Structure 1
Amino acid sequence: MNWKIYLSGEIHTDWRDQIKKGCEMRDLPVSFCSAVTDHEASDAAGDGLGAESNSFWRDHKSAKVNSIRTKHLVHSCDIAVVRFGDKYKQWNAAFDAGMCAALGKPYITLHDESIIHPLKEVDGAAMAWAQSVDQVIEILAYVTSAD
């Protein structure tokens, strides 16, 4: 079986690439998908529907267009990894985790100790809380093993 892993959350570091490389080095039976990680492209996703003078409506349109991809990927994944960085608030990542919880999709949160308290409900529904990419890779190696 090939496991489909949805990588959600923080877009300002290379954590996704690290997970992909680590899984490839271990020859894990996984493939990866993600929301759009280009911030400007994501913000402009709804611009093709017409210009807006009010930023709320621009964001609203783009969020809806982005959600077409996100909903499909969350529904079709086997496991999600939801990364929360310390630099920005990732409301979209929390929303993805909530969708996973509502759909019964297993997910792993990835963040450091400094944001345990604000993520207590998100972590409470997660199957695991990892503090490093290596821990995520270990979990993926274990759950995808054929033995």
Structure 2
Amino acid sequence: ILGAEPDKFWHDHKGAKVNAIRTRNGIELADVVVVRFGEKYKQWNAAFDAGMAAALGKSLIVLSLPEHQHPLKEVHAAALAVAEEPRQVVEILRYVLTGKLPVKG
């Protein structure tokens, strides 16, 4: 969008800034922010987005694997809910939007 860059650093720098406009706008407009951490917990963008959401006072739901509990303890502490499966996030959002708890069965 902003033109080619021969230096990889400046290419990534420009891309990160344009992506940040999109991400920041989305977080600011959101009532609830869901941040998913995948198999490798060293996902700096996800951690940054979670921090941004927390700093803006957004309701934060974190989705992460149990084995990443310790490395993500500060992120988890900032979240209002920590889920281990996508289904749990869906159930939380359904409850938030409708007030209905999941049916056990």
Runs ≥4 in structure 1, deviation > 3 angstroms? none
Q: CA deviation at 1:88?
A: 6.4
The 5 A counterparts of 1:108-127 are 108-127=61-80
Q: Which runs of 5+ in 2 are unaligned?
A: 101-105
Q: TM-score, normalised by structure 2?
A: 0.87
SS at match of 1:49: coil
Question: How big is the alpha-carbon RMSD for the aligned residues of Structure 1 and Structure 2?
Answer: 1.5
The 5 A counterparts of 1:93-132 are 93-132=46-85
Q: Which runs of 5+ in 1 are unaligned?
A: 1-47
SS at match of 1:81: strand
Look up the equivalent residue of 1:49 and give its one-letter code: L
Query: What is the percentage of aligned positions where both structures have the same residue?
Result: 59
Number of the residue aligned with 1:20: none
Look up the equivalent residue of 1:110 and give its one-letter code: L
Q: TM-score, normalised by structure 1?
A: 0.64
The 5 A counterparts of 1:58-137 are 58-87=11-40, 89-137=42-90
Superposed CA offset, 1:35-64 (max 9, x none): xxxxxxxxxxxxx32222221111110001
